[in-house]
Structure 1
């Protein structure tokens, strides 16, 4: 029985592989060209067809990107000396709004490239392109550099703005549109995310800011609001509050700095709302640092104004911080589990805050009742929550 199941499983896998190969090979080109090798690339509905000529070290290829509308560009590239986007030697097809297709070559020298036409590091004697029923096909002949046959490859699609290529999205498929190709064996492999170290820095930027503005800042505010109601927590709650918020600010400044560096290294890629909120957060965080240095004594007549200022900026910082974390997650587009994990953290903090809020009011009301019973005139003493509540840090 086990052998039969094993045989059926092998047949099923074989049929899937054969079916996949037929889907790739069954495409009929308008020029009736036939290619000996065809691979379906792992993301972005793209396929690569080619014939390798060992006698002169050339490749006749067709790169096919499906589901493309007008006012888009597609590109396929070899990266001879590295991987990812920088250094890629690209074949580009620009699909204009009138349906015409402009093919050309472009050497990518940096992340802020606009894919301007330029010569490549190897010869491309033939290049043309067409769009047929939403399939953009780039035909080209490549003279493989240095007699090599195995290279890193990159492929992308992005919008056309004012007749020129615009920045492509940074979704998971776009970041994973990189791998290897061997023109002799016909094997392809998956690579890391597009951008390499740049993607690593984006992730670092995201983690730092999520931890600082999105988690530590709310925790510090909860300490200030809920611990100080307990008499035994004085003055420890204040120092705990300051320690958490100072840590959050320090980590947040590090995240803000990585964001500035990312912006300078990613010319042409702008996330205006995310950037503006980040700048506002840095300004608010800095104001809170000055608030600590300028804090009046509890009996100072200006203390109430300081309390209002400190609380207003604090809650605004928390709100903007959480908002910007979600905007950053939308930009990075990581696996859904990361967004779900952050939502889980927020739900946990909210649940804890709700319980502490109820318990705090229970203690406050009980304390007020006890103090009213002790004071015939209805006043309550200096140890009550009402007076302590006004002494925010």
Structure 2
């Protein structure tokens, strides 16, 4: 009886192992089972994108056998592992990219990533003797044998990435979320260590956050608030001259913040060779130009109230103000889209705008009622000449 039970357990165990997937993803690289039972001397859990690297390095021959494992963003997506001879960054990296071809078969191609977009399969600066891609259980694996140049190693700059789609054999752009921007590190092939991944792009991310926060504060709060006070408080005698000082302070402060935000944007652009966010950049330049023109008109070209050009001045002054507000709101949303923030932040942004809209509509209704009531009361009062008559 005991013998038959043991036999039954062994049968079930054999069936379980038989139907296990060739490549499995787990919380640590040491517990992974690779296809064809391939074994490597070292492995590491990469700090982002749920990725893992296995490798065996033979210094005497400068040969690196590796397996890179990561889940692509979608089943039709791609994964990439690369060596950058210069620094741990994307541009300049010599990449192995795996994806599914149109015929349904998996493939690995070499890519010389000389810029952020518009590149295709191409030779790289070191020899790749073997390449294979395996897809199982929503996880894609790259297996390769690389012959490193004699002047390279054992410390390498590695970059890895995942994407959601491929068009005509060209990987489409990956996401720009925090974990995508941090997918780079220094790899020591002999010690089996990775370092620097957590801090590689922290500074850049902080500057991006600074750029976004400063511009949102400038164009979504300070500038609209200055316009709001001018339009809805100026009708009250008791608010003079308080509304005027607020009206001056808020747009000027917004302009200064906008200059800081524009400066950080230019700095980020200069550090991102090959990345072009043309619409966002052009709208930002237009914003700065309109703000400078409005300040010039407001401070140095303002005619007196009784001047014949006063109406023309008011039309330009108000028109530029509304243009700046709308352009700032649109450009900030474009920036959120570029930064690829979580959906909840986009919803929060839209909710804030909706609240602003409701407040403006209410203030507009109240203001028009007060103005029309005053006109009605003034027209109902008899003039002094009629009274004497």
Q: Do they fold alike, i.e. is TM over 0.5?
A: yes
Partner of 1:285: 291
Partner of 1:312: 319
Equivalent of 1:128 in 127, 131, 144: 131
Quote the Cα distance in structure 1 between the aligned partners of 2:29 and 2:105: 30
- Distance 1:161-1:344 versus aligned 2 partners, 3 A rule: closer
- Distance 1:261-1:19 versus aligned 2 partners, 3 A rule: closer
Equivalent of 1:171 in 172, 177, 180: 177
Please list the CA deviations of residues 237-271 of structure 1 after superposition, one character each: whole Å capped at 9, or x if unmatched. 33432332123223324433544554455455344
Partner of 1:62: 67
- Aligned alpha-carbon RMSD (Å): 4.3
Quote the Cα distance in structure 1 between the aligned partners of 2:368 and 2:118: 58
Quote the Cα distance in structure 2 between the aligned partners of 1:223 and 1:148: 64
Quote the Cα distance in structure 2 between the aligned partners of 1:377 and 1:306: 33
Per the alignment, in what secondary structure is the counterpart of residue 97 of structure 1?
A: coil
Equivalent of 1:139 in 140, 143, 158: 143
Mapped contact 2:29–2:44 kept (Cα < 8 A): no
Cα deviation for residue 218 of structure 1 reads 0.8
Mapped contact 2:71–2:140 kept (Cα < 8 A): yes
Q: Say yes or no: does 1:202 pair with 2:205.
A: no
Aligned residue-pair number: 356
Q: Say yes or no: does 1:91 pair with 2:96.
A: yes
Per the alignment, in what secondary structure is the counterpart of residue 299 of structure 1?
A: coil
Matches within 5 A, 1:152-191: 152-158=157-163, 159-184=165-190, 186=192, 188=194, 191=197
Partner of 1:332: 339
Quote the Cα distance in structure 2 between the aligned partners of 1:258 and 1:115: 31
Mapped contact 2:161–2:183 kept (Cα < 8 A): yes
Mapped contact 1:206–1:255 kept (Cα < 8 A): yes
Quote the Cα distance in structure 1 between the aligned partners of 2:357 and 2:29: 53
Per the alignment, in what secondary structure is the counterpart of residue 229 of structure 1?
A: coil
Quote the Cα distance in structure 2 between the aligned partners of 1:148 and 1:43: 23
Bigger shift: residues 168-177 or 191-200: 191-200
Quote the Cα distance in structure 1 between the aligned partners of 2:275 and 2:200: 14
Bigger shift: residues 173-182 or 183-192: 183-192
TM-score, structure 2 as length reference: 0.70
Equivalent of 1:220 in 221, 226, 231: 226
Partner of 1:14: none
Partner of 1:10: none
Quote the Cα distance in structure 1 between the aligned partners of 2:173 and 2:71: 19
- Distance 1:210-1:173 versus aligned 2 partners, 3 A rule: same
Matches within 5 A, 1:361-380: 375-377=381-383
Mapped contact 1:296–1:303 kept (Cα < 8 A): yes
Q: Say yes or no: does 1:48 pair with 2:53.
A: yes
Per the alignment, in what secondary structure is the counterpart of residue 242 of structure 1?
A: helix
Quote the Cα distance in structure 1 between the aligned partners of 2:319 and 2:306: 21
Quote the Cα distance in structure 2 between the aligned partners of 1:66 and 1:248: 44
Quote the Cα distance in structure 1 between the aligned partners of 2:316 and 2:326: 16
Cα deviation for residue 61 of structure 1 reads 0.8
Mapped contact 1:111–1:265 kept (Cα < 8 A): no
Please list the CA deviations of residues 179-207 of structure 1 after superposition, one character each: whole Å capped at 9, or x if unmatched. 45454565556724775655454334323
Quote the Cα distance in structure 2 between the aligned partners of 1:152 and 1:193: 14
Per the alignment, in what secondary structure is the counterpart of residue 90 of structure 2?
A: coil
